[in-house]
Amino acid sequence: MFTHELTNRTAAFLHEIGLNVESGPVTDTTFLPGIAIVSGRMIVQESQLLSPGDILHEAGHLALIAPANRSLQEAVFEDPEIDLIEVAAISWSYAAALTIGMPLHVLFHPDGYRGNSLGLIFSFQNGISPGLPLLEKFEMAFSPQTAKLRGVQPFPHMERWLR
């Protein structure tokens, strides 16, 4: 499907959890180069990507959108909780990166995250997960305290990948 092994591994993981990723041309200007959202599907033109990590970040948005709205998504995400979802998508993508073995410097690459890629890596490596409250609200992942009460593993373990 793709030429880069990490892009293939990412796409396979996303298919496995129920998100659609396809290789294809991205001709319009998009928020992240090489990735278009069309009817809830991700179209990826690998040659335009800044990093395979961007696929995981955009997938995090799709995973966190209300299920009834997921297939309706186009280039711009629409959700009443969009600001919270942005932060949660970062935490979601971190958990996904660990799951598929994506190095954090690929996920949080220097050309993304408004120059805060090293800060994000530092935060997550030190147990700070800014999007965890929303993941917990959606019952997708849990803080150590809540996980202990529920008898499950804490974040970055995900109880489920899709809202």
Res 68: pLDDT: 82
Res 77: pLDDT: 55
pTM for this one? 0.92
Domains of the chain: which residue ranges? 5-150
What pLDDT tens digit does each residue of the chain (163 aa) get? 799 999 999 999 999 999 999 999 998 888 889 999 998 899 999 999 999 999 999 999 999 988 888 777 765 555 555 667 889 999 999 999 999 999 999 999 998 888 889 999 999 999 999 999 999 999 999 999 999 999 999 999 999 999 9
- Cα 101 from chain centroid (whole Å): 14
Res 54: pLDDT: 96
Res 69: pLDDT: 80
Res 14: pLDDT: 98
Long-range contacts, stretch 104-112, CB < 8 angstroms, 24+ apart: 106/6, 106/51, 106/52, 106/53, 107/51, 107/53, 107/56, 107/57, 108/53, 109/50, 109/51, 109/53, 109/54, 111/50, 111/51, 112/32, 112/50, 112/51, 112/53, 112/54, 112/57
DSSP 110: T
